[in-house]
Amino acid sequence: MFLPAFTKMTKKINKVVLAYSGGLDTSAMLLWLKETYDCEVVCYCADVGQGEELSGLEEKALATGASKLYVEDLREEFVKDFVWTAVKANALYEGVYLLGTSLARPVIAKKQIEIAQREGADAVAHGATGKGNDQVRFELTYYALQPDIKVIAPWRSWEFKGRADLIAYCAKHGIPVTATAAKPYSMDRNLMHCSYEGGILEDPWAAPPDDIFLLSKSPENAADKAEEIVLTFEKGEPIAINSEKYGAVDLLTKLNFIGGEHGIGRFDLVENRFVGMKSRGIYETPGVTILQTAHRALESITMDREVMRLRDTLGVKFAESVYNGFWFAPEFEILRSMVDQTQENVSGDVRLKLYKGNVIVTGRRSPYSLYKQRIVTFEDDAGAYDQHDAEGFIKLQALRLRLRQMD
Positive or negative, the CA dihedral 18, 24, 30, 32 is negative
The CATH number of the domain holding residue 122 is: 3.40.50.620
- The more confidently predicted of residues 196 and 185 is 196
Q: Which of 75, 102, 105, 347 is catalytic?
A: 105
Helices (H), 262-304: 286-302
Given a contact cutoff of 8 angstroms between Cβ atoms, the answer to whether 227 and 364 are in contact is no
Report field, pTM of the whole predicted structure over 0.85: yes
Q: How far is CA 193 from CA 83, 113, 287, 291, 398, in A?
A: 11, 24, 8, 13, 49
Task: Tell me, yes or no, whether 327 lies in a domain.
Answer: no
Q: Convert the pLDDT of each residue in 245-282 to its tens digit.
A: 999 999 999 999 999 999 999 999 999 999 999 999 99
Among 155, 183, 211, the domain-final residue is 183
The amino acid at residue 132 is: G
The CATH number of the domain holding residue 197 is: 3.90.1260.10
Judged against a pLDDT cut of 70, whether residue 286 lies above it is answered with yes
Whether residue 19 sits in one domain with residue 85: yes
Whether residue 224 sits in one domain with residue 175: no
Task: Tell me, yes or no, whether 231 lies in a domain.
Answer: yes
Annotation marks residue 188 as catalytic: no
Whether residue 137 sits in one domain with residue 110: yes
What percentage of the chain carries pLDDT values higher than 70? 95
**Among candidate residues 316, 325, 259, the one with its CA nearest the CA of residue 289:** 259
Annotation marks residue 300 as catalytic: no
Task: Tell me, yes or no, whether 379 lies in a domain.
Answer: no
Whether residue 158 sits in one domain with residue 16: yes
Mapped onto helix, strand or coil, the DSSP state of residue 110 is helix
Phi, psi dihedrals of residue 273, rounded to the nearest 5°: -70, 150
Given a contact cutoff of 8 angstroms between Cβ atoms, the answer to whether 136 and 29 are in contact is no
Task: Tell me, yes or no, whether 391 lies in a domain.
Answer: no
Annotation marks residue 186 as catalytic: yes
For residue 204, what is the enclosing H or E element? Answer: none
Judged against a pLDDT cut of 60, whether residue 35 lies above it is answered with yes
Annotation marks residue 210 as catalytic: no
Q: Convert the pLDDT of each residue in 321-371 to its tens digit.
A: 999 999 999 999 999 999 999 999 999 999 999 999 999 999 999 999 999
Mean per-residue pLDDT of the chain = 94
DSSP class per residue in 366-397: -TT----HHHH-SS--TTSS-TTHHHHHHHHH
Interacting residues of 34 by C-beta distance below 8 A, sequence separation 6+: 41, 65
Interacting residues of 153 by C-beta distance below 8 A, sequence separation 6+: 125, 126, 128, 130, 135, 139
Judged against a pLDDT cut of 50, whether residue 6 lies above it is answered with no
Whether residue 242 sits in one domain with residue 142: no
Whether residue 158 sits in one domain with residue 17: yes
Whether residue 132 sits in one domain with residue 193: no
Task: Tell me, yes or no, whether 335 lies in a domain.
Answer: no
**Residue 93 carries which DSSP code?**
B
- Compute the distance between CA of residue 186 and CA of residue 170 in angstroms, rounded to an integer: 19
- Compute the distance between CA of residue 190 and CA of residue 52 in angstroms, rounded to an integer: 10
Q: Which of 21, 25, 102, 366 is catalytic?
A: 25
Whether residue 292 sits in one domain with residue 201: yes
Task: Tell me, yes or no, whether 313 lies in a domain.
Answer: no
Q: Work out the average pLDDT over 278-291.
A: 97
- Compute the distance between CA of residue 163 and CA of residue 90 in angstroms, rounded to an integer: 37
Among 148, 165, 183, the domain-final residue is 183
Among 183, 211, 232, the domain-final residue is 183
Task: Tell me, yes or no, whether 378 lies in a domain.
Answer: no
Q: Which domain does 162 fall in, by range?
A: 5-183
Residue 92: per-residue pLDDT: 97
Q: Convert the pLDDT of each residue in 67-103 to its tens digit.
A: 999 999 999 999 999 999 999 999 999 999 999 999 9
Q: Convert the pLDDT of each residue in 235-251 to its tens digit.
A: 999 999 999 999 999 99
Q: Which of 47, 156, 157, 186 is catalytic?
A: 186
Pick from 35-49, 198-212, 318-332: least confident? 198-212
Residue 98: per-residue pLDDT: 98
Judged against a pLDDT cut of 60, whether residue 4 lies above it is answered with no
| Strand order through the sheet with 123-125 | 68-73, 40-47, 15-19, 123-125, 150-152
Considering its fold, how many domains does the chain have in total?
2
Whether residue 178 sits in one domain with residue 46: yes
For residue 361, what is the enclosing H or E element? Answer: strand 358-365
CA 206 to chain CA centroid, Å, is 25
Whether residue 198 sits in one domain with residue 148: no
Q: Convert the pLDDT of each residue in 128-138 to its tens digit.
A: 999 999 999 99
Whether residue 200 sits in one domain with residue 166: no
Task: Tell me, yes or no, whether 285 lies in a domain.
Answer: yes
Q: How far is CA 126 from CA 96, 181, 189, 191, 202, in A?
A: 27, 22, 17, 21, 24
Q: Which of 27, 75, 102, 134 is catalytic?
A: 134
Whether residue 248 sits in one domain with residue 119: no
> Which band of pLDDT confidence, cut at 50, 70 and 90, is reported for residue 10?
low
